[in-house]
Amino acid sequence: MAAWSCSLPFRSGRLEKVTWMSRSTPTWTARPLCRSAAMKAPSSRAYSLSFSFVARTNTCGELRSAHVGQKVTLYGWIQYQRQGLFLVLRDFQGLTQIIIPQDEACSHVKKLLSNAPVESVVRVTGIVSLRPPGQENPKMPTGDIEVKVETAEILNSCRKLPFEIKDFIKKSEALRMQYRYLDLRSSQLQYNLRLRSQIVMRMREYLCNLHGFVDVETPTLFKRTPGGAKEFLVPSREAGKFYSLPQSPQQFKQLLMVGGLDRYFQVARCYRDEGSRPDRQPEFTQIDIEMSFVDQGGIQRLIEGLLQYSWPEERGPITTPFPSVTYEEALADYGTDKPDTRFDMKIVDISDFSRSLGIRFVQNALSYPHGTVKAICIPQGMRYLKNKDIESLKEAARSQFNQEIVDIICRPDGSLKSLLTKFLGQEQQSELVQALKMQVDDVVLLAAGEHKQVCSALGSLRVESADLLEAAGLVLRDPTAFHFLWVVDFPLFLPKEENPTELESAHHPFTAPHPSDMTLLYSDPTKVRSQHYDLVLNGNEVGGGSIRIHNAELQRFVLEKVLKEDSEVLSHLLDALEFGAPPHGGIALGLDRLISLIIGAPSIRDVIAFPKSFRGRDLMGSAPDYVTPEELESYHIQVSWPVAEAEAKKN
């Protein structure tokens, strides 16, 4: 039986007192990580008046020995019922043991409660009593008491369940999604949704009440942005004209700054049609922020304050300011722009050391521009990894990055085992051991080649080998640790994948160039760094933003001359910049991802009430669905059936 906690004991009828108490002393009580079996509901001020406006006197999580003798009315679901003797009643706040009366006078109550199926919803009224000595349940917050029923009512009966509402019962995700309303009764999902609500509320308090931000709702029916291939379309009643569901309120928030709003935020619904992608959702939520007259540091301090203020106490404190690395540093040290800094295993550059070695593939690699030799050292790799693990790591580098990897093992006697050893003298071997800080049983993965490719490959192997070490029992990453990191100084433009002679924005075309690189913009735009910043948490990108271009001429140059895009579709934004647009910048935090990391949920689906499957389907209501041709008429569209389906329809 899951143990639930409750908030501070409180009495009814003290609205005014509780009101102000809860306003001035919001508390986040300490909690274990919620993935543990002993799930607890997040307790807080949010529960103080859960009995207001309804007929219950208490919730199922709050009765204690102090309540003994009181007559209470509880509403909840039958979690468990045993032999007509007692049942366990559950609501969102916890569990209470209910004693079914056995005397003849109450036989109808006994019959009612004994016959009600599990998960039926009932009202019970009764007296709070101490449990008989020895029958207390210290694991249950209400474990000292039980309620002796006087009257009861079955409010709604439950038919046979597709799965049991118990945390330890494993069920397939498809089944959970189909019966999402039943899965929502689990203590884990109750906790997740309530914690999410509370964190967002704290964020709002910080932004709106403490720092003068204005919550502005922006349209979701807008028009297609250039290159907006991932935007959902919405046909309008004007033939051939479509709205588009925007991927973010980017244009609107910039226009709000032009409009003098000064400080904007929104918990914004965003849309992205990426087809089937694991752990992505076609609609998602971001904490969207924009400020005028701000620089990069200003936004960073704001976000650090925001996260610190809204951080659940039960997750331990986070320290600010967050560390910051440049994009180049992140790539060189971790092989990625979203490094997981909870563990070390940094990439080590041994190009200089390698130059003196007479090894052909090494010399060959170093002879190219950006040629490099790098390595990562897997601590205790010999003890925790199997040979096939190392082979699979090497194969992954080959298939995903076209990168050959050489492994070096440090034997128990300190000697090295590798293809390379025959090319290395004793002194060179110990230099290598020193450079890589190798210890007995460590495994080194070495790569030679082009800088970016080598870094990316080793960065990927770093995370994969950490996963393998942990699967084998070595704790490398503290599961309770939260490592925030700013990554800054990204390139402003990247070569297009399909045609590397053309450039595209690394993030979006409104990102301002780094002030030191302004002249490069006109001479060598590939070298220009941007004023973009990413916020990374435990190796996941949880936010990104930038200082924006506020000068119309510069914006036009970037769009037309560098990106070669048709600026006409953005004419309203270019116009706006000409009317005294203030310098401004902002950021967006991915709320679903952030909450799932805070909670330690395996998927963002666990922090969304009604998520879609990875194919973008709602398995409960079966969306999307067919509509009749008549329904399409007023939107002047018709379905272009793929040939096979059209044929099938004909027959």
Applying CB under 8 A, which of residues 241, 386, 411, 496 lies at the interface with a copy of itself? 241
Which residues fall within 8 angstroms of residue 370, CB to CB, at 6 or more apart?
Answer: 450, 451, 452
Q: Which stretch binds a copy of itself (CB under 8 A): 50-58, 104-112, 328-336, 375-383?
A: 50-58
Which parts of 580-599 interact with a copy of itself (CB under 8 A)? 580-583
CA distance 200 to 301: 18
- Whether 97 contacts 88, CB under 8 Å: yes
Residue 152 in contact with a copy of itself, rule: CB under 8 A: no
CA distance 266 to 251: 13
Residue 9 in contact with a copy of itself, rule: CB under 8 A: no
Applying CB under 8 A, which of residues 193, 332, 455, 559 lies at the interface with a copy of itself? 193
C-alpha distances in Å from residue 478, one per residue of 161, 319, 343, 458:
38, 16, 9, 22
Residue 4 in contact with a copy of itself, rule: CB under 8 A: no
Residue 159 in contact with a copy of itself, rule: CB under 8 A: yes
Q: SS3 for 295-330, per residue?
A: CHHHHHHHHHHHHHHHCCHHHCCCCCCCCEEEHHHH
Structure tokens at 396: 């992954």
- Whether 281 contacts 621, CB under 8 Å: no
Residue 16 in contact with a copy of itself, rule: CB under 8 A: no
Residue 506 in contact with a copy of itself, rule: CB under 8 A: no
Applying CB under 8 A, which of residues 8, 99, 106, 201 lies at the interface with a copy of itself? 201
Residue 361 in contact with a copy of itself, rule: CB under 8 A: no
Closest approach, Cβ 369 to a copy of itself, in A, equals 39
Residue 1 in contact with a copy of itself, rule: CB under 8 A: no
Which parts of 605-634 interact with a copy of itself (CB under 8 A)? 608-610, 612, 616, 618, 620-627, 631-633
Pairs from 602-608 (Cβ < 8 Å, separation ≥ 24)? 603/279, 604/279, 604/281, 604/284, 605/173, 605/177, 605/279, 605/281, 606/188, 606/189, 606/192, 607/192, 607/193, 607/196, 608/281
Structure tokens at 584: 């401004």
Of 170, 159, 164, 83, give the one whose Cα is nearest residue 121.
159
Residue 650 in contact with a copy of itself, rule: CB under 8 A: no
CA distance 605 to 613: 8
Residue 648 in contact with a copy of itself, rule: CB under 8 A: no
Residue 486 in contact with a copy of itself, rule: CB under 8 A: no
Residue 184 in contact with a copy of itself, rule: CB under 8 A: yes
Q: Which is nearer to a copy of itself, 135 or 157 (CB)?
A: 157
Which parts of 63-122 interact with a copy of itself (CB under 8 A)? 75, 77, 90-92, 119-121
Closest approach, Cβ 86 to a copy of itself, in A, equals 19
HSE, CB side, 13 Å, CA atoms: give it for residue 451.
Answer: 12
Applying CB under 8 A, which of residues 217, 352, 391, 566 lies at the interface with a copy of itself? 217
Hey, which residues does 388 pair with through a beta bridge? none
Which parts of 265-304 interact with a copy of itself (CB under 8 A)? 269, 271, 273, 275, 282-283, 285, 291-295, 298-299, 301-302
Which parts of 377-436 interact with a copy of itself (CB under 8 A)? none
Residue 643 in contact with a copy of itself, rule: CB under 8 A: no
CA distance 420 to 422: 6
Closest approach, Cβ 285 to a copy of itself, in A, equals 6
Applying CB under 8 A, which of residues 1, 8, 26, 494 lies at the interface with a copy of itself? 26
Residue 458 in contact with a copy of itself, rule: CB under 8 A: no
Residue 502 in contact with a copy of itself, rule: CB under 8 A: no
Q: Which is nearer to a copy of itself, 209 or 356 (CB)?
A: 209
Closest approach, Cβ 127 to a copy of itself, in A, equals 21
Residue 554 in contact with a copy of itself, rule: CB under 8 A: no
HSE, CB side, 13 Å, CA atoms: give it for residue 43.
Answer: 19
CA distance 405 to 312: 43
Applying CB under 8 A, which of residues 6, 10, 40, 56 lies at the interface with a copy of itself? 56
Which residues fall within 8 angstroms of residue 283, CB to CB, at 6 or more apart?
Answer: 269, 270, 271, 612
- Whether 540 contacts 531, CB under 8 Å: no
Of 542, 543, 487, 531, give the one whose Cα is nearest residue 505.
531
Residue 639 in contact with a copy of itself, rule: CB under 8 A: yes
Residues touching a copy of itself, count (CB under 8 A): 146
